[in-house]
Chains A and B, each alone.
With several copies, the nearest count.
Chain A
Amino acid sequence: MAAIPKKKLVQWDPAEVKAELLAKYPSKVARKRAKQIMINEAQGNETPEISANVRTTPGIITMRGCTYAGCKGVIMGPTRDIVNLVHGPIGCSFYAWLTRRNQTDAGPDGENYMNYCFSTDMQDSDIIFGGEKKLTAAIQEAYDLFHPRSIAIFATCPVGLIGDDIHTVAKRMKDKFGDCNVYAFSCEGYKGVSQSAGHHIANNQVFKHIVGENDAEKPGKYKINLLGEYNIGGDGFEIDRIFKKCGITCISTFSGNSTYDQFASAHKADLNAVMCHRSINYVADMLETKFGIPWIKVNFIGADATAKSLRKIAEYFGDKELTDQVEAVIAEEMPEVLAARTDVRTRTEGKTAMMFVGGSRAHHYKELFNEMGMKTISAGYEFGHRDDYEGRQVIPTLEVDADSRNIEEIHVEPDETRYQARKTPAEFEALEKAGYTFKQYDGLVPDMDQGTIIIDDLNQYEAEKLVELMKPDIFCAGVKEKYSIQKLGVPMKQLHSYDSGGPYAGFKGAVNFYQEIDRLVNSRVWSYMQAPWQKNPELSASYVWE
């Protein structure tokens, strides 16, 4: 396929762009959005402040979903051997049924409920008289049919409002069954301001009800947990492949292709590697406080980032055997990656991208675009917090607003019996002296170029304007945004579901991504929008017979 030459580079002044985006808003909205649209003018290490994790404006068409989506859809969805029972009217369970592309390997035990959709399908009578009886019966029926090792209950909007006590019901059934752990999530959709609250609610319950349930020793020399990886399009499988090859044992992944037992054994790992900072950094903190497992930020999106992350893990264990193996793996995997990269760069170099997705992805995928020589001219998160933009140093300064206040924060203490420091203070010190950083994340902003535009909770109106004004070669967001962007003639790549592509993580994933982006930004298709008669509209006389 011949690359279609595009007249680049569109000239634009970020201040003008920002003004354009705000122009049409009522003043109240304009003031609010002004704080969420930031022109990147980072000087040195002082980053400008952005407003994030704040309410969505009613009536403004947002990309965001709800707390239930974050809890059931994102965090618990990928866990295969837990029966995820949604307590509420049918819709919420239906929409979360197989619509995220968390891949799952049923494994030897063959337990896999991912393809099923479970609901109490609440009716008006349940709303009036309460739904606890129906929930109890549904749990019993699920248990009788499947005898799963665990049943998770998710509350949707009305449940909280009518006051069903799902936690008591769960407890009662857990005690009744004995061989099946049952627990509940109060993840009503109206809580918080985005999916983010749902991640938090989910992770808290996993930590409270599952982590530490299994104290059996796990084999393996270099044991880690991978936090915040959801195995979209098989990303997790690729990372597992690489870990295996390196000799690293992944005790548990939160929560891609995960099982109940993985969570239950998470405390047996010696290091937590955090992928998606937004959805899970607090779990890493809790695991450290309670069990003494230190954590580091990693990123397996991008081949170079993957290599860097592997080396960081190896450095932590400080064992030559592992270091050598990691280097050997990198040496073996990179040539193919570089070959693909060199090839596509001839067609992608200098092209521009925009990304508005997730709470870390927009940052992670910048790595891949960099590797292709593509510039990210605007980016932002759908449900990120300030620390995801500006770095963890701002965390102490974040004020907790009304919406976040009700999202439970668990206070954890070191476990009397099971807390165990993974290294001596001296060892930690030595590492840090050598420049090793634990629990460190600097956020998206420092990585963005001067003058690029960073926008939190981008909405449909702004997205359309942005594309019209800045004419990127590719735009990345979710399925709801895909087709309105493409109508404008700009290819759109879904970075939630990958448009049924992937994996894009690790080494093989990088190659997949290079090729996919090459296909998109160089496709002939976008040249078909104009019909010949639009190109030269003059008429009749001009027709030439043979």
Chain B
Amino acid sequence: MLLRHTPKEITERSALVINPAKTCQPIGAMYAALGIHGCLPHSHGSQGCCAYHRSALTRHYKEPVSAATSSFTEGASVFGGQANMLQAIDNIFAVYDPEVIAIHTTCLSETIGDDLKQIKKKADAEGKIPKGKEIISCSTPSYVGSHVTGFSSMVTSMAKMAEPTGKKNGKLNIIPGWVEPADMEEIKRLVGLAGVKTILFPDTSGVLNGPLSGEYKMFPDGGTTVKELKSTGDSIGTLALGEWCSGEAARWLDSKMKVPCRVLDMPFGLSATDRFIDALRMIAGVSVPDEIALERGQLVDMISDMHQYFYHKKVALVGDPDQLIAMTEFLVSLDMCPIHIVTGTPGKKFEARIKEITKDMPYEVNVRAKGDMFLLHQWIKNEPVDLIIGNTYCKYIARDEDIPFVRWGFPILDRQGHQYFPTVGYKGGLRLLEKILGVLLDRLDRDAPEQSFELVL
């Protein structure tokens, strides 16, 4: 057994986290910043943070991830990191020449109380910021929230780049939240089909799913441009996909820029995508194009064709709140039964939302925000499931307990495809069904006695 020391019996833990279902804020801020065209994320802390975040993102995407660091020394930790930051700004513009430096803090710089706004002022005063270049920043102490809240903070800083001209641009802001590059691309495709002009931010498509062409672009072609970000204040409205990832930025634009917003669930699965598409067509005042209707119909068709294999299968889920809410709703709509649901990100309203979605289910539901995968594993030992959906770390549980496993979420370190094939939208729903069905039927085929080994399923 890989996790041989995990006991079935569950004891409450007040201080010890084992096998976390979250990581720290800065990596979220870094991922979000990569969704700005020509942006170099910068980690204001000791160099290890930056190294770890770059490694984690690189392993997930199998793509280069560039980011700089203030490389704090012990001295800097005592006397403050301003000198390091100013020096970094000089060097970054001199050597890498990005359009934007997106700085996030760390537990280190937060604990010593570095003030980025002040540092930026100083840099400005000293003329360290070349004309037309931008520096944005957000506060992401690792001891608050999780990678999800860090992502949200940087997205909010992106929103704060808005420079309203007073003249509406006729566009819709869409904040996709922490989804894959392929998902962002798919959202753009759907929006395009619906004939809505949009500003999508952040946008990591074309950044973290790039080609191999013999050329290395430190700043790839993708990403939301500074021009677009400045224009978000002139948009007709904002759709935020996911309360945890995107709500704050949307509400800031609403309250400060008077750009009305609506926070929807991330468009995973049938119903959440329905609500997204319905919002689009109402905002745009268009009727839904046949192509989208066809994709929807195909998803419903596959649900009906394969329903017998989904029906009442028990599922354990671990991941981030926005994703889990949409996935739970999707599974329930397939008549599957998500019975153990864990996120490491804090937030009681997550538990409430899940309970609401699962209230008609024939099984008792275990849900925990600020939980960990050790707890999830113990729940599974007490009430086994037919399927686990989560990030790569689930493979240790899946192997120990011999449970079919679909990789979904962050990080996925041991398989390919997530950066190329979307799971949002109706087509994404088809892909999720294909994957879920694949592992369930593989298991059926594996365990079937020879008498009932089936050719046709």
Chain A residues within CB distance 8 Å of chain B: 1-2, 24-26, 29, 55-69, 85, 88-99, 101, 103-106, 110-113, 115-124, 126-127, 134-138, 140-142, 144-146, 156-158, 160-162, 188-193, 234, 237, 402-403, 406, 460-461, 464, 478-480, 482-489, 497, 499-501, 516, 519, 523-526, 528-533, 537, 539-546
Residues A59 and B111 in contact, CB atoms below 8 Å apart:
no
Q: How far is the CB of B243 from chain A (nearest CB, A)?
A: 11
In the complex, what residues of A have CB within 8 A of residue B455's CB? 98-99
- Of the candidates B56, B108, B215, B281, the one whose C-beta lies within 8 Å of that of A488 is B215
Residues B14 and A141 in contact, CB atoms below 8 Å apart:
yes
Which 5 A/B pairs are nearest by Cβ-Cβ distance? A66-B48, A91-B24, A59-B88, A540-B285, A59-B91
Contact of A141 with B216 at beta-carbon distance under 8 Å, contacts A113-B5, A540-B282 already known: no
Residues A488 and B282 in contact, CB atoms below 8 Å apart:
no
Q: How far is the CB of B184 from chain A (nearest CB, A)?
A: 20
**In whole angstroms, how far apart are the Cα atoms of A149 and B288 in the complex?**
64
In the assembled complex, B270 has its CB within 8 A of some CB on chain A:
yes
In the assembled complex, B72 has its CB within 8 A of some CB on chain A:
yes
Chain A to chain B contacts (Cβ below 8 Å), 17 pairs: A59-B87, A89-B141, A90-B22, A90-B24, A99-B56, A119-B16, A146-B5, A157-B111, A158-B107, A483-B63, A483-B64, A523-B311, A533-B277, A533-B288, A537-B287, A545-B260, A545-B261
In the complex, what residues of A have CB within 8 A of residue B87's CB? 57-59
Known: A523-B304, A530-B214. 20 other contacts (CB 8 A): A1-B362, A25-B91, A56-B71, A58-B71, A60-B68, A60-B95, A88-B142, A91-B142, A101-B456, A116-B3, A121-B20, A141-B13, A146-B5, A158-B111, A188-B46, A483-B58, A487-B217, A488-B216, A500-B456, A545-B262
Interface size class of B (residues with CB under 8 A): 35 or more
- Of the candidates B53, B55, B143, B260, the one whose C-beta lies within 8 Å of that of A124 is B143
In the complex, what residues of A have CB within 8 A of residue B70's CB? 58-59
In the complex, what residues of A have CB within 8 A of residue B19's CB? 97, 116-117
Q: Considering residues B26, B52, B55, B282, which has the most beta carbons from chain A within 10 angstroms of its beta carbon?
A: B52
Contact of A122 with B16 at beta-carbon distance under 8 Å, contacts A24-B95, A59-B90, A113-B5 already known: no
Q: How far is the CB of A328 from chain B (nearest CB, A)?
A: 28
In the complex, what residues of A have CB within 8 A of residue B144's CB? 123-124
In the assembled complex, B212 has its CB within 8 A of some CB on chain A:
yes
Residues A528 and B270 in contact, CB atoms below 8 Å apart:
yes
Q: Considering residues B213, B277, B333, which has the most beta carbons from chain A within 10 angstroms of its beta carbon?
A: B213
**In whole angstroms, how far apart are the Cα atoms of A94 and B74 in the complex?**
23
Q: How far is the CB of B310 from chain A (nearest CB, A)?
A: 9
In the complex, what residues of A have CB within 8 A of residue B108's CB? 157-158, 161, 189-190
**In whole angstroms, how far apart are the Cα atoms of A412 and B421 in the complex?**
59
In the complex, what residues of B have CB within 8 A of residue A61's CB? 66-69, 96
In the assembled complex, B77 has its CB within 8 A of some CB on chain A:
yes
In the complex, what residues of B have CB within 8 A of residue A98's CB? 393, 455-456
Q: How far is the CB of A366 from chain B (nearest CB, A)?
A: 23
B154-162, B401-409, B430-438, B446-454 - interface stretch = B446-454
Chain B residues within CB distance 8 Å of chain A: 2-5, 7, 11, 13-20, 22-24, 26-27, 42, 45-49, 51-56, 58-59, 62-77, 84-85, 87-92, 94-96, 106-108, 111-112, 141-144, 146, 210, 212-218, 237, 251, 254, 260-263, 270, 274-275, 277-279, 281-288, 293, 296-297, 300, 303-305, 307-308, 311-312, 333, 335, 344, 360, 362, 374, 393, 396, 450-452, 454-457
Contact of A138 with B23 at beta-carbon distance under 8 Å, contacts A106-B4, A524-B333 already known: no
Q: How far is the CB of B49 from chain A (nearest CB, A)?
A: 7
Residues A529 and B281 in contact, CB atoms below 8 Å apart:
no
In the complex, what residues of A have CB within 8 A of residue B393's CB? 97-98
Residues B215 and A487 in contact, CB atoms below 8 Å apart:
yes
In the complex, what residues of A have CB within 8 A of residue B344's CB? 90
Residues B91 and A190 in contact, CB atoms below 8 Å apart:
no
- Of the candidates B85, B107, B251, the one whose C-beta lies within 8 Å of that of A157 is B107
Residues B46 and A89 in contact, CB atoms below 8 Å apart:
no
- Residue of B whose beta carbon sits closest to that of A63: B51
- Residue of B whose beta carbon sits closest to that of A198: B48
In the complex, what residues of B have CB within 8 A of residue A516's CB? 308
Residues B52 and A137 in contact, CB atoms below 8 Å apart:
no
**In whole angstroms, how far apart are the Cα atoms of A119 and B73 in the complex?**
24
- Residue of B whose beta carbon sits closest to that of A110: B4
In the complex, what residues of A have CB within 8 A of residue B96's CB? 61, 461
- Residue of A whose beta carbon sits closest to that of B59: A479
